[in-house]
């Protein structure tokens, strides 16, 4: 047996370049949203082929901002997948609207368009689809079931650099939000980016992220009329990204395509090397787009696997290999279960994903030997 290794489920790839990038803002004294954030936004918009990109403090605050800018509020319903990170549903509650869950496909882990169609009511104002783990949702099928006027939003937390039929994630619907949390492919510590081609929505979001101010701090400080304070005609929030993060984001964005290419190679290695393990189903490799591989999420067949998923995870942990469930079924979380009277079987696909998905390590700081070690540990269990 090879020596025991310690392999994290995910590690951010940051170093000297990011460190150096923070020097400029620290020396200039302009620390909050300013020139570095503006530069990051411009580059991010270009990379994702959208007209507007607005940096924010996290994907969660960005999703809230997006819904608020679209005027979503009490009395409205917003459909979200039942298998996703809890933030996708929480942001709907922040606005006073009601989250309505739709089931997911156990093959893609993404929202099931047929179930989504069944959840639409006259109160449906929007859908937030999630490109979970970096695989784009089936946007054509989703659009086909949406009545005119229902907004189609993307939760791109895991999808920086992903694309569908040649169009980058972030520009596949009316607006989208990305995450730069350290478990994502590119990171600014915490952080997010709202993208849209809708200038009106972008303008409102721009004000709302800065307390509802009609002009930004930078415009105000650099402007010719020092006596002017901005107008505040909207109730806003403080969701501004710092220039320190903007500087780090620029460096990370420059590495995005390399990170995805490396992750793709590693994903193919896993797929090929683990193909013989019949009870371990591989994630979908799309032939109509780019998977961003934020995570490599397998499915442990509960009928044919030699051990329960959790026992397999414990075995791997004992060998120094971190694994995680893909994510959670929101309708099974205490708050949602109790508030909306939900039971696990209400969304069987989501429950299945909750109970049987297993993310195995995949990130840009793993070596070829690390990947081989994971394969050999799984093969030993098989
Ligand atoms: C699908 C999804 N949506 C939203 C979020 C929230 O992102 P953030 O931590 O940047 O607020 C996450 C984070 O894990 C996520 O996976």
pLDDT (tens digit per residue) in 80-138: 999 999 999 999 999 999 999 999 999 999 999 999 999 999 999 999 999 999 999 99
Strand order in the sheet with 77-81: 52-56, 192-196, 175-179, 151-156, 124-130, 77-81, 98-102
Q: How far is Cα 365 from Cα 121, in angstroms, rounded to an integer?
A: 46
Q: Are strands 280-281 and 357-360 parallel, antiparallel or unpaired?
A: unpaired
Task: Please state, as a whole number, how many other Cβ atoms lie within 10 Å of the Cβ of residue 241.
Answer: 29
155 lines ligand 1 (CB under 6 A): yes
pLDDT value at position 228? 75
Q: How far is Cα 331 from Cα 216, in angstroms, rounded to an integer?
A: 39
Q: How far is Cα 64 from Cα 89, in angstroms, rounded to an integer?
A: 10
154 lines ligand 1 (CB under 6 A): no
Given 4, 42, 184, 255, the catalytic residue:
184
Asked if 252 contacts 186 with a C-beta cutoff of 8 angstroms, the reply is yes
**Cβ-Cβ contacts under 8 Å for 260 (sequence gap 6 or more):** 161, 185, 290, 292, 293
Residues 231-288: pLDDT tens digits? 899 999 999 999 999 999 999 999 999 999 999 999 999 999 999 999 999 999 999 9
Query: What's the pLDDT band for 294 if we cut at 50, 70, 90?
Result: very high
Query: What's the pLDDT band for 1 if we cut at 50, 70, 90?
Result: low
Alpha helix (H) ranges present in 70-135?
87-94, 113-118
Site to substitute for ligand 1 among 64, 87, 357, most atoms within 8 A of C-beta: 87
Number of the ligand 1 atom closest to the C-alpha atom of 132? 1
List b or e across 176-208, with b for residues whose CB sees 16 or more CB atoms inside 10 angstroms. bbbbbbebbbbbbbbbbbbbbbbeebbebbbbb
User: Hey, which bits of the chain come out as E strands?
Assistant: 52-56, 77-81, 98-102, 124-130, 151-156, 163-164, 167-168, 175-179, 192-196, 280-281, 289-290, 296-300, 357-360
* Side-chain-facing half-sphere of 126: CA atoms under 13 Å: 32
Q: How far is Cα 31 from Cα 242, in angstroms, rounded to an integer?
A: 6
pLDDT value at position 217? 72
For residue 236, the CA-to-ligand 1 centroid distance in Å is 22
Residues 24-56: pLDDT tens digits? 999 999 999 999 999 999 999 999 999 999 999
Active site residue 184: yes
Which range (9-18, 219-228, 312-321) has the least confidence?
Answer: 219-228
Asked if 244 contacts 25 with a C-beta cutoff of 8 angstroms, the reply is yes
Site to substitute for ligand 1 among 59, 156, 170, most atoms within 8 A of C-beta: 59
For residue 240, the CA-to-ligand 1 centroid distance in Å is 17
181 lines ligand 1 (CB under 6 A): yes
Asked if 71 contacts 80 with a C-beta cutoff of 8 angstroms, the reply is no
Q: How far is Cα 272 from Cα 264, in angstroms, rounded to an integer?
A: 12
Q: How far is Cα 338 from Cα 27, in angstroms, rounded to an integer?
A: 51
Question: What separation in angstroms does the CA of 27 have from each of 15, 99, 240, 249, 301?
Answer: 19, 45, 20, 18, 55
252 lines ligand 1 (CB under 6 A): no
For residue 60, the CA-to-ligand 1 centroid distance in Å is 6
Q: How far is Cα 333 from Cα 243, in angstroms, rounded to an integer?
A: 36
What does pTM read for this prediction?
0.97
């Amino acid at each position: 047996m090879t020596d025991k290794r310690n392999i994290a489920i995910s590690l951010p790839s940051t170093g000297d370049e990011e460190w150096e990038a923070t020097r400029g803002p620290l020396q200039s004294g302009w620390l909050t949203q300013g020139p570095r954030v503006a530069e990051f936004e411009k580059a991010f918009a270009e990379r994702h082929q959208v007209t507007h990109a607005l940096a924010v403090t996290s994907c969660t605050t960005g999703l809230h901002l997006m819904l608020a800018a679209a005027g979503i509020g009490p009395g409205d319903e917003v459909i979200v997948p039942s298998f996703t990170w809890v933030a996708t549903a929480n942001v709907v509650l922040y606005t006073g609207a009601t989250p309505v869950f739709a089931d997911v496909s156990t093959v893609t882990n993404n929202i099931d368009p047929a179930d989504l169609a069944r959840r639409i009511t006259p109160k449906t104002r929007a859908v937030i689809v999630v490109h979970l783990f970096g695989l784009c949702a089936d946007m054509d099928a989703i659009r086909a079931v949406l009545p005119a006027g229902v907004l189609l939003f993307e939760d791109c937390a895991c999808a920086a650099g992903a694309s569908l039929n040649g169009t980058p994630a972030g520009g596949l619907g009316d607006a989208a939000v990305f995450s730069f949390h350290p478990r994502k492919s590119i990171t600014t510590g915490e952080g997010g980016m709202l993208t849209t081609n809708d200038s009106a929505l972008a303008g409102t979001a721009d004000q709302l992220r800065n307390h509802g101010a009609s002009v930004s701090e930078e415009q105000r400080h650099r402007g010719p009329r020092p006596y002017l304070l901005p107008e505040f005609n909207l109730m806003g929030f403080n969701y501004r990204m710092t220039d320190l993060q903007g500087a780090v984001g620029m460096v990370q964005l420059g590495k995005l395509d390399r990170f995805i290419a490396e992750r793709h190679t590693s994903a193919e290695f896993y797929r090929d090397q683990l193909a013989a393990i019949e009870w371990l189903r591989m994630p979908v490799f799309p032939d109509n787009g780019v998977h961003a591989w934020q995570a490599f999420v397998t499915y442990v067949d509960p009928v044919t696997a030699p051990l329960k998923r959790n026992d397999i995870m414990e075995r791997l942990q004992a060998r120094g290999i971190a694994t995680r469930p893909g994510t959670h079924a929101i309708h099974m979380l205490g708050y949602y279960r109790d508030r909306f009277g939900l039971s696990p079987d209400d969304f069987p696909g989501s429950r299945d994903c909750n109970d049987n998905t297993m993310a195995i390590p995949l990130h840009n700081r793993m070596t070829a030997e690390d990947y081989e070690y994971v394969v050999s540990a799984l093969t030993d269990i098989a």
